Amino acid sequence: MNARAAVLLAVLAVLLLLLPAVANSYVLSVATLILFFAYAGQAWNVMMGFAGQLSLGHSLYVGVGAYAAAGLFFHYGIGPWAGIWVAIALCVALGAAIGFLAFRFGISGVYFALLTIAFAEFTRIGFDHIDWLGGPGGLFLKVAQREALDLANLRGPPAMFYYVMLALTAAAFGLCAWLLRSRAGYYWRAIREDEQAAQALGINTFRWKMLAVVVSSAMTAVAGVFFAFYYNNLFPEQIFHISRSIEIILGPVIGGVGTLFGPVLGAAVLTILADAITEVLAALGVEIPGVKQVFYGVVLLVVVMFLPHGIWPPLARKLGLGERS
Amino acid sequence: MALLALQSVSKSFHGLRAVSGVSFEVAEGAIVGLIGPNGAGKTTIFNMVAGVYAPDRGEIRFAARRIEGLRPDQVCAAGIGRTFQIVRPFAGLSVLENVVIGALERAAGVPEARRHADEILERLGLAAKRDLPAAALTLPDRKRLEVARALATRPRLLLLDEVMAGLRPTECDQMVAVFREINRREGLTILLIEHVMRAVMALAQDIVVLHHGEVIAHGTPEAVVRDPAVLECYLGEGAEV
């Protein structure tokens, strides 16, 4: 990172820290959503962007993480900061199982992506039959008074959720920046570019791909815990749905796969534009179901056709920031 | 003392015998050429030494240790570096990053690997291009990068698969000079597959000739080019020089 990028990042950080002081509750909810997708996109990016392993089933880790923490809180009153470790452990175990199956038996590329979809799908169906977690009827957390701040139990006003998500996103950004500069970052990118050549240079590709899946699933589990306590209701049909997985990957794909800032930028662009379109249509009195999905499709097409590396790499060059993938 | 020894190594693909009963040794510090017509089994032998395939039969010893059936990364860790016939740079990464990845094999951390990578780029004449993406390199430079990356793993034995192919004679001579220098200065042992006879004759002290998966001649370059069996396989029966 050069000096210019550091300054811009610091300015952005200050603006984000001050936002709740000036924003109304609507703007704050959109900002929280952006940060959520920036964070989840960052987590997904570790697997696909860094190590080249395409997951189309990241809703699995969001869902399992969410249900683990919510279930413990609902039944035993165990707070999210303790439940988060159970969520991480479960998701890491799941990720490791998928990774082991795939990498041990040489499943890669599209077939690996299919495997990740399959796991998310049968978990979705499985959760419909877990009555302890509410089954298809859903699991609901009690919504406390929004004004009382209770950080230990993640109950509080929207600004608290905003700051928690901001802290998580900043931590994920820092972790990814550090990982990219470490041995893992070099090895992952080598595997992404050419696995056979990577192996010939002494890289145990199985071990490093497993690490990518484990890091990514652990990070995504945390997103799930936040999701559970922010929305307070969980339905297998929604949280494990493949459209959730797609929503997670759209940010990094549009922002720039494999870059540090791409997932953040992509999440912001997508969420703001999608909300703007919904608002404009609502103001015009037009109601088109599924307009958001159509919009996602159009943006994806445009970016893939004209900016195949995403919005961020050419923008970074223009701004003289020089972040490469 | 042989650094690398193949003993009665065989490999078939779907019933086709690619390599059959091949035995030869590469002495420590030697430069050995592996030549033969297309389809003779040269690259298959390389891939067995490098751990891409396990031989069906036979033994491969490196530094007195059995290595057949090890994975490529384990073979690399044991001290064998390789290049690929069709170059495989990490196209999206910079030239320096490509070499750093190789250097990390024996470096404690990224800073040390970077220093080592810079030295190697300097030696191979790629220092000025260290920050270019590997995809932007010309073919001769990509071949140099392939060699640089393999050298960065600090091998005791370097397997070179047709690194001279496609180079102009002057570029080829430069590459020969680099290998000679590394061989002399550091005692690096080299086994090379090569079709460019100019390079083989200039480099190898010892040549193994393969034909239809079998060794048909083994000796000094001067002896091998006069061997009737070698002439026959290259030029046809009854050929004379």
Q: Is the pLDDT of residue A100 over 50?
A: yes
Give B84's contacts in chain A (Cβ within 8 Å): 196-197, 200
pLDDT at site B237: 66
Residue B6 and residue B73 share a domain: yes
Give A202's contacts in chain B (Cβ within 8 Å): 73, 76-77, 102, 105, 153
Pick the last residue of a domain from B96, B121, B154: B154
Q: Verify whether the Cβ–Cβ distance A182 to B150 is below 8 Å.
A: no
Q: Verify whether the Cβ–Cβ distance B93 to A190 is below 8 Å.
A: yes
pTM for the predicted model, two decimal places: 0.93
pLDDT at site A127: 96
Residue B176 and residue B216 share a domain: yes
Q: How far apart are CA A291 and CA A109, in angstroms?
A: 31
* Lowest-confidence segment of A113-122, A163-172, B177-186 by average pLDDT: B177-186
Residue B170 and residue B140 share a domain: no
Collapse the DSSP code of A68 into the 3-class scheme (helix H, G, I; strand E, B; otherwise coil) and give the result. helix
Give the A:B interface size as CB pairs under 8 Å: 75
Query: With pLDDT > 70 as the criterion, what percentage of chain A qualifies?
Result: 97
* Closest by CA position to A165, among listed A25, A33, A18: A33
Collapse the DSSP code of B3 into the 3-class scheme (helix H, G, I; strand E, B; otherwise coil) and give the result. strand
Pick the last residue of a domain from B138, B154, B170: B154
* Closest by CA position to A66, among listed A83, A47, A44: A83
The residue of chain A with its CA nearest to that of B152 is: A201
* Interface contact A2, partner B, CB < 8 A: no
Question: Mean pLDDT for chain A?
Answer: 93
Q: Is the pLDDT of residue A145 over 70?
A: no
Exposure string of B125-155, with b = 16+ CB inside 10 Å and e = fewer, is: ebeebbeebbeebeebbbbbbbbbbbbbbbb
Beta bridge partners of B94: B133
- Name the CA radius of gyration of chain B, rounded: 18
Distance from CA of A140 to the nearest CA of B (A): 47
- Tokens in use for B38? 């297309």
Q: Verify whether the Cβ–Cβ distance B104 to A199 is below 8 Å.
A: no
How many of the other CB atoms lie within 10 Å of CB of B214? 16
The CA-atom distances, in angstroms, between A197 and each of A203, B76, B81, B92 are 9, 11, 11, 14
Q: Which domain holds residue B106?
A: 88-154
CATH of the domain at B222: 3.40.50.300
* Interface contact A318, partner B, CB < 8 A: no
Task: For A161-189, give the DSSP string.
Answer: HHHHHHHHHHHHHHHHHHHHHSHHHHHHH
Q: Verify whether the Cβ–Cβ distance B110 to A183 is below 8 Å.
A: yes
- Name the CA radius of gyration of chain A, rounded: 20
pLDDT at site A144: 65
Q: Verify whether the Cβ–Cβ distance B105 to A201 is below 8 Å.
A: yes
pLDDT at site A162: 96
Q: How far apart are CA A81 and CA A89, in angstroms?
A: 13
Q: Verify whether the Cβ–Cβ distance A202 to B105 is below 8 Å.
A: yes
Q: How far apart are CA B179 and CA B161, in angstroms?
A: 14
Residue B170 and residue B139 share a domain: no
Give B150's contacts in chain A (Cβ within 8 Å): 200-201
Q: How far apart are CA A222 and CA A61, in angstroms?
A: 9
pLDDT at site A140: 94
Confirm if A61 and A252 have CB atoms less than 8 A apart: no
| Cα torsion through A67, A68, A72, A73, rounded to 10 | -50
Q: Is the pLDDT of residue A126 over 90?
A: yes
When pLDDT is averaged across residues A171-177 and rounded to a whole number, the result is 97
Residue A126 exposed, middle or buried by CB count within 10 Å (0-12, 13-18, 19+):
exposed
* Interface contact A182, partner B, CB < 8 A: yes
pLDDT at site A42: 97
The residue of chain B with its CA nearest to that of A192 is: B90
Distance from CA of A220 to the nearest CA of B (A): 27
Q: Give chain B's domain count.
A: 2
Residue B166 and residue B150 share a domain: no
Q: Verify whether the Cβ–Cβ distance A189 to B84 is below 8 Å.
A: no
pLDDT at site A322: 66
Q: Verify whether the Cβ–Cβ distance B150 to A201 is below 8 Å.
A: yes
Q: Is the pLDDT of residue A189 over 90?
A: yes
pLDDT tens-digit readout, A7-32: 889 999 999 999 999 989 899 999 99
Q: How far apart are CA B52 and CA B55, in angstroms?
A: 10
* Closest by CA position to B205, among listed B190, B194, B188, B226: B190
**Domain residue ranges of chain A, discontinuous segments joined by +:** 3-9+23-318
* Closest by CA position to A307, among listed A229, A255, A271: A255
Describe the crossing of helices A3-22 and A25-45 by its angle, rounded to 10 degrees. 140
Pick the last residue of a domain from B129, B154, B179: B154
The model's confidence at residue A325, banded by pLDDT at 50, 70 and 90, is very low
Q: Verify whether the Cβ–Cβ distance A190 to B149 is below 8 Å.
A: no
Q: Verify whether the Cβ–Cβ distance B94 to A324 is below 8 Å.
A: yes
Q: Where are the beta strands (DSSP E) in A62-101?
A: none
Sign of CA dihedral A38, A44, A48, A49: positive
**At CB < 8 Å, which residues of chain B contact A?**
50, 52, 71-73, 76-77, 82, 84, 88-94, 97, 100-102, 104-105, 109-110, 113, 149-150, 152-153
pLDDT at site B239: 58
* Closest by CA position to B95, among listed B47, B56, B160, B145: B145
When pLDDT is averaged across residues A61-68 and rounded to a whole number, the result is 98
Instruction: Report how far Cα A200 is from the mean position of its chain's Cα atoms.
Output: 33
The residue of chain A with its CA nearest to that of B73 is: A202
Residue B172 and residue B220 share a domain: yes
When pLDDT is averaged across residues A262-269 and rounded to a whole number, the result is 95
DSSP letter (8 states) at residue A143 = P
ipTM here = 0.92
When pLDDT is averaged across residues A131-145 and rounded to a whole number, the result is 87
Cβ within 8 Å of residue A173, ≥6 positions away:
A42, A260, A264
Q: Verify whether the Cβ–Cβ distance B104 to A200 is below 8 Å.
A: no
Q: Verify whether the Cβ–Cβ distance A201 to B94 is below 8 Å.
A: no
Residue B127 and residue B218 share a domain: no
Distance from CA of B225 to the nearest CA of A (A): 33
Residue B20 and residue B94 share a domain: no
Q: Verify whether the Cβ–Cβ distance B90 to A324 is below 8 Å.
A: no
A residues 257-286 lying closer than 8 A (beta carbon) to B: 258
- pLDDT by position in tens, chain B (length 241): 799 999 999 999 998 999 999 999 999 999 999 999 888 999 999 999 999 999 999 999 999 999 999 999 999 999 999 999 999 999 999 999 999 999 999 999 999 999 999 999 999 999 999 999 999 999 989 999 999 999 999 999 999 999 998 888 898 898 899 999 999 999 999 999 998 888 898 899 999 999 999 999 999 998 988 888 888 887 776 655 5
Distance from CA of A159 to the nearest CA of B (A): 40
* Lowest-confidence segment of A219-228, A271-280, B157-166, B183-192 by average pLDDT: A271-280
The model's confidence at residue A143, banded by pLDDT at 50, 70 and 90, is confident
Residue B184 and residue B70 share a domain: yes
Q: Verify whether the Cβ–Cβ distance A198 to B101 is below 8 Å.
A: yes
When pLDDT is averaged across residues A217-239 and rounded to a whole number, the result is 96
Give A184's contacts in chain B (Cβ within 8 Å): none
pLDDT at site A288: 79
